[in-house]
């Protein structure tokens, strides 16, 4: 397509690095080649039955028309209630916008709050859409590097160095995609302490993996530790990961009322309301008891452990073991081969599908998903070991 045809905005969007590899994997599988796919970014479970029943009932009950742009009132109230109980923040429905997944919550927020040239600090490794969404809103991503050998810790001094008069946001994502790191209270307090001193800086806390945790750690919502910063903290969350509802497209943005109102206006002029009957399913999802998540986490715990232990047994691979989400982000032996080339070769020679770390800001790592069966993980580990032995 001619570059002249495309808007300047469209030209800032980078194509997804993972697409090429997925397309190749699909082609090889169609040719009958045995593929082991450890690239999934979504749970391999179905959504809970009660959610499916409530959603289909909602269709028969006629919740099939346009609804309010900001979301179903009952759902907005239920989310406000959840946040009050779990995040210890006094919200009502006007603090909540229901969105087409957490992604649209982030997109709306930056469209509403960023001006041309505003800077957004993004600790790396990061979820690959953050820099793109920031750029689409005219903002400038400022990458703050963390390293596996340092436990992916956000260093306070380095954070201070990245702050300028143009800094408008920092993104915090715990549990993290792709590293599986869960920030502890002290780490969060250190970040809060630094941000507190800069009135112009807001925090976007992406908590989409809050329910996928191993039993040694807790998820701490950042807003629960910084009552005085309530007006500067925006929480993004959704039903995709915890409830295995990726394709349902329902998430939310929580924050100050004037910003939510403005984001709702943006939504009313772009996508309108989230699917009416899916929102009824989301209300049911919020009623599910903690035992359900405990059971799901037992499965993820075992898989995460199988993956971590398998990776640790491979010579020259460094792993900072994940405590949450469903990924591991091992470091390759050196930078002689780019992460994209490694992933291409691992696919071509060993039928292994994993995601290049460069997509997440670290070219020496790769992302391996454990949102798949234990036997698939074990098979993938064998192939990964062979690839390491062959290419390094």
Ligand X SMILES: Cc1ncc(COP(=O)(O)O)c(C=O)c1O
**Is residue 376 a contact point for ligand X (CB under 6 A)?**
no
Q: How many CB atoms lie within 10 A of CB 367?
A: 27
For residue 175, the 8-state DSSP code is: S
> Does residue 204 touch ligand X according to CB under 6 A?
no
Residue 369 touching ligand X (CB under 6 A):
no
Residue selected from 18, 173, 205, 276 as contacting ligand X according to rule CB under 6 A: 173
The answer to the question of residue 246 lying near ligand X (CB under 6 A) is yes
Judged by CB under 6 A, does residue 67 bind ligand X?
A: no
Is residue 127 a contact residue for ligand X (CB under 6 A)?
yes
- The footprint of ligand X on residues 140-169 (CB under 6 A) is none
Cα 160 from Cα 362, distance rounded (Å): 21
Does residue 238 sit in helix, strand or coil? strand
- Is 124 near ligand X (CB under 6 A)? no
In whole angstroms, how close is the CB of 42 to ligand X at the nearest point?
7
Q: Which residue is nearest to ligand X (CB)?
A: 101
**Is 380 among the residues that bind ligand X (CB under 6 A)?**
no
CB of 109 to ligand X, least distance (A): 12
Beta-sheet strands, E only, within the chain: 36-37, 96-99, 119-124, 140-145, 167-173, 202-206, 233-238, 251-254, 327-328, 352-353, 355-356, 366-369
Q: In this chain, which of 25, 35, 87, 103 binds ligand X, going by CB under 6 A?
A: 103
- CA 119 to CA 137: how far, in whole Å? 11
Residue among 176 and 387 whose Cβ is closer to ligand X: 176
Residue 174 binding ligand X, by CB under 6 A: no
Angle between helices 276-285 and 49-60 (to 10 degrees): 150
Least separation in angstroms between residue 57's CB and ligand X is 23
CB of 173 to ligand X, least distance (A): 5
Is residue 317 near ligand X by the rule CB under 6 A? no
As measured in angstroms, the least distance from the Cβ of 314 to ligand X is 25
Q: CB 237 → ligand X: shortest distance, Å?
A: 8
Q: How far is the CB of 78 from ligand X (least distance, A)?
A: 17
Q: Which stretch binds ligand X (CB under 6 A): 25-33, 101-109, 144-152, 363-371?
A: 101-109
Q: What is the maximum span of the chain, computed from C-alpha positions, in angstroms?
A: 60
Position among 113, 171, 208, 365 found at the interface with ligand X (CB under 6 A): 208
Which three-class secondary structure state does DSSP give residue 235? strand
Q: Which residues of 329-346 are buried (b: 16+ CB within 10 A; e: fewer)?
A: bbbbeeeebebbebbbeb
CB of 251 to ligand X, least distance (A): 4
**Closest CB to ligand X among residues 255, 351:** 255
d(C-alpha 50, C-alpha 3), whole Å:
49
Torsion-angle region of 361 (φ positive above 0: left; ψ -120 to 50: alpha; else: beta)? left
Name the 3-class secondary structure at 365. Answer: strand
Answer for which of 118, 206, 284, 362 binds ligand X (CB under 6 A) is: 206
Q: Is the CB of 221 or the CB of 238 nearer to ligand X? A: 238
**Looking at beta carbons only, is 177 or 202 nearer to ligand X?**
177
Give me 341's structure tokens. Answer: 């080339």
Sheet of 233-238: strand order equals 96-99, 251-254, 233-238, 202-206, 167-173, 119-124, 140-145
What tokens does 145 get?
């590097």
Binds ligand X by CB under 6 A, chosen from 69, 183, 240, 377: 240
What does the radius of gyration of the chain's CA atoms come to, in whole angstroms? 21
Q: Does residue 279 touch ligand X according to CB under 6 A?
A: no
Tell me if 102 contacts ligand X by CB under 6 A: yes
What residues are paired with 170 via a beta bridge?
121, 203
Q: CA angle at residue 308 from 302 to 310, to 5 degrees?
A: 100
Residue of 180, 251, 351, 361 interacting with ligand X (CB under 6 A): 251
CB nearer to ligand X: pick between 41 and 139: 41
Which residues of this chain interact with ligand X, rule CB under 6 A? Answer: 41, 101-103, 127, 173, 177, 206, 208, 238, 240, 246, 251
């Amino acid at each position: 397509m001619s570059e002249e045809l495309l808007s300047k905005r469209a030209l800032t969007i980078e194509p997804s690095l993972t697409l090429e590899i997925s397309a190749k994997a699909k082609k090889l599988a169609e040719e009958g080649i045995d593929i082991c796919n450890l690239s999934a970014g979504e749970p391999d479970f179905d959504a809970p039955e009660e959610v499916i029943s409530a959603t289909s009932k909602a269709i028969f009950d006629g919740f099939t028309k346009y609804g309010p742009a900001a979301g179903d009132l009952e759902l907005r109230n239920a989310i406000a209630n959840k946040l009050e109980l779990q995040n210890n923040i006094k919200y009502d429905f006007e603090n909540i916008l229901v969105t087409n997944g957490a992604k649209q919550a982030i997109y709306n927020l930056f469209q509403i709050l960023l001006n041309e040239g505003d800077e957004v600090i993004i600790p790396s490794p990061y979820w690959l859409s953050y820099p793109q969404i920031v750029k689409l809103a005219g903002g400038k991503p400022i990458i703050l590097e963390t390293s596996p050998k340092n436990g992916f810790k956000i260093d306070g001094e380095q954070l201070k160095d990245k702050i300028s008069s143009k800094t408008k946001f920092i993104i915090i994502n715990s549990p993290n995609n792709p590293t599986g790191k869960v920030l502890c209270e002290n780490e969060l307090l250190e970040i809060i302490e630094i941000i507190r001193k800069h009135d112009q800086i807001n925090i976007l806390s992406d908590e989409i993996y809050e329910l996928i945790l191993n039993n040694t750690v807790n998820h701490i919502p950042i807003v629960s530790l910084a009552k005085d910063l309530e007006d500067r903290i925006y929480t993004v969350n959704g039903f995709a990961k915890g409830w295995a509802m990726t394709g349902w497209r329902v998430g939310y943005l929580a924050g100050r009322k004037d910003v939510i109102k403005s984001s709702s206006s943006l939504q009313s002029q772009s996508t309108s309301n989230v699917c009416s009957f899916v929102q009824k399913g989301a209300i049911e999802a919020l009623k599910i008891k903690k035992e359900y998540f405990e059971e799901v986490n037992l499965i993820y715990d075992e898989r995460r452990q199988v993956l971590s232990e398998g990776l640790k047994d491979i010579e020259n691979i460094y792993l900072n073991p994940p405590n949450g989400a469903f990924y591991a982000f091992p470091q390759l032996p050196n930078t002689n081969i780019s992460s994209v080339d490694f992933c291409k070769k691992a696919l071509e020679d060993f039928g292994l599908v994993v995601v290049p770390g460069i997509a997440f800001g670290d070219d020496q790592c790769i992302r391996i998903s454990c949102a798949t069966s234990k036997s698939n993980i074990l098979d993938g580990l064998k192939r990964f070991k062979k690839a390491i032995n062959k290419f390094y």
